[in-house]
Amino acid sequence: MAESAKKPYQEMSRDELADEIAALKAEYKKYQAMELQLDMSRGKPCREQLDLSMGLMDALNSTADLSCEDGTDCRNYGVLGGIQEAKVLIGDMMENNPDNILIYGNSSLNVMYDQVSRSMTHGVMGSTPWCKLDKVKWLCPVPGYDRHFGITEYFGIEMIPVPMSPTGPDMDMVEKLVAEDEAIKGIWCVPKYSNPQGYSYSDETVRRFARLKPAAKDFRIYWDNAYGIHHLYDDRQDYLIEILAECKRAGNPDLVYKFASTSKITFPGSGIAALATSANNLEDIKNQLKHQTIGHDKVNQLRHVRFFKDIHGMVEHMRKHAAIIRPKFELVENTFEENLGGLGIGSWTCPNGGYFISFDALEGCAAAIVDRAKKAGVKLTPAGATWPYHKDPHDSNIRIAPTYPPLEDLRTAAQLFTVCVRLVSAEKLYSEMK
């Protein structure tokens, strides 16, 4: 099959496609017989990655002094915005001044949700609460992160897809829409190693974001820098212009909420999340936050600071993550290249960081591919998940999450995936020839 596989499917005759389908069906059955149970659906760290942070559990013990440098006893109530040394560490991680940082609990998703929720009930800096408006709209670069879209869908916000390219969202469209429509209150961005493509916004894109002229005064860029230091390579690292500084330079200091967390640095669900934004936004947020909580988990903040010591410790830690997951990305990319290269039935990204590879199948094939893989025991992110309302109008995008399965499982899963892509694509082309 290897030989024929190099001929683009679109150039095959009906008989050649029939032969290909028969061969692929036989191969697919072999995988089914293996009774696989593999999961490539979510961007989860693998066991070996989690093991890297076990030292976190020793960072504090019963003889430790759980006081901050300023004397605050982290074991007691208080300190709404987070302890100073955590602000410094996370500030270095986010490339922001500690004064612009709010340290939260364990989940940046929760922070983003709360931002939207507060805007619904209380508006932004004194604007009309969004729940009092007839219509609230949101820009959603696509394909994008399903949990972002889940928040805006939950709040009944109308989501408008904006096409992504390797340099970021279509900025002509973004600029035009936000300038024209006061109902547009936000945009979801994963600016570095984007979910799912692994793209990083170009300098021009960031600069145009910082210079947006939204009709709505309460429009905010939701800048989810989830993978800011999540490089796969030492020598191939994307660089992103720091958005807060750029907004300030552009005279738009309050335009952006920037999010990050240590979820994929230490333990997902047991890390610390943070928000960086302007002094005005921080004041607005704290006026609400003080009613919601007395403070977040300072002991866990201190634990992270004592474990990493400083940003250099964190960067070295991330190199260990990269050493574990880089081979997984390369395995998937190589398998795709070997089995799909030149066939004209799919394209995929080869990111320098982040947690995902984005795969684009022939139009109308994604759901069938995911379904085929599922029936052979390989769970993928549902087709459509990368689009608002779970509806990919092209039915072509599939998010590949290579980090969680062990390398050997991943090899099998990636192989099976390519079999599914070829089978579904061949069947589609064959049926269209009828």
Binding interface with its own copies (CB under 8 A): 42, 44-45, 47, 50, 53-58, 60-64, 66, 73-78, 105-107, 109-110, 113-114, 117, 120-122, 129, 131-132, 147, 150-151, 154-155, 263, 267-270, 288, 290-300
Nearer to its own copies, 125 or 350 (CB): 125
Q: Is there a contact between 421 and 429 (Cβ–Cβ < 8 Å)?
A: no
- Cα–Cα distance between 299 and 78 in angstroms, integer? 12
Give the number of C-alpha atoms closer than 13 A to the C-alpha of residue 267, restricted to the C-beta side.
15
Which whole-number Å values give the CA distances from 206 to 145, 209, 245, in the listed order? 19, 5, 11
What DSSP string describes 397-411?
EEEE--SSS-HHHHH
Tell me how far, at minimum, the Cβ of 303 lies from its own copies, in Å.
Answer: 9
Tell me how far, at minimum, the Cβ of 132 lies from its own copies, in Å.
Answer: 7
Which whole-number Å values give the CA distances from 374 to 26, 28, 302, 368, 381, in the listed order? 17, 12, 43, 10, 10
Q: What sign has the CA pseudo-torsion 351, 238, 165, 220? A: positive
Q: Is there a contact between 104 and 275 (Cβ–Cβ < 8 Å)?
A: yes
Nearer to its own copies, 16 or 153 (CB): 153
- Cα–Cα distance between 434 and 342 in angstroms, integer? 24
Tell me how far, at minimum, the Cβ of 380 lies from its own copies, in Å.
Answer: 17
**In this structure, what are the phi and psi dihedrals at residue 40, rounded to the nearest 5 degrees?**
-115, 30
Q: Closest Cα to residue 422, out of 348, 328, 336, 331? A: 336
Nearer to its own copies, 107 or 334 (CB): 107
Q: What is the dihedral of CA 99, 105, 108, 111, to 10 degrees?
A: -80
Tell me how far, at minimum, the Cβ of 305 lies from its own copies, in Å.
Answer: 14
Which whole-number Å values give the CA distances from 387 to 144, 146, 147, 196, in the listed order? 6, 7, 10, 11
Which residues, 6+ apart, have CB-to-CB distance to 431 below 8 Å? none
Tell me how far, at minimum, the Cβ of 281 lies from its own copies, in Å.
Answer: 18
Nearer to its own copies, 67 or 165 (CB): 67
Nearer to its own copies, 68 or 368 (CB): 68
Residues paired with 398 in a beta bridge: 359
- Cα–Cα distance between 251 and 244 in angstroms, integer? 11
Tell me how far, at minimum, the Cβ of 79 lies from its own copies, in Å.
Answer: 8
Q: Is there a contact between 363 and 396 (Cβ–Cβ < 8 Å)?
A: yes
Nearer to its own copies, 200 or 300 (CB): 300
Tell me how far, at minimum, the Cβ of 259 lies from its own copies, in Å.
Answer: 13
Nearer to its own copies, 31 or 404 (CB): 404
Structure tokens at 182: 């006061």
Tell me how far, at minimum, the Cβ of 192 lies from its own copies, in Å.
Answer: 20
Tell me how far, at minimum, the Cβ of 78 lies from its own copies, in Å.
Answer: 7
Nearer to its own copies, 75 or 135 (CB): 75
What DSSP string describes 116-181?
HHHHHHH-STTPPPGGGSS--EEEEEES--HHHHHHHHHTTPEEEEEEEETTEE-HHHHHHHHHH-
Q: Name the strands in the sheet holding 273-276, side by side, starting at the edge strand that comes first in the sequence.
A: 101-103, 273-276, 256-261, 220-224, 184-189, 137-142, 158-165, 168-169
Nearer to its own copies, 255 or 275 (CB): 275
Nearer to its own copies, 251 or 269 (CB): 269
Tell me how far, at minimum, the Cβ of 65 lies from its own copies, in Å.
Answer: 10
Nearer to its own copies, 193 or 267 (CB): 267
State which amino acid sits at residue 204.
E
Tell me how far, at minimum, the Cβ of 298 lies from its own copies, in Å.
Answer: 6
Q: How many CB atoms lie within 10 A of CB 319?
A: 12
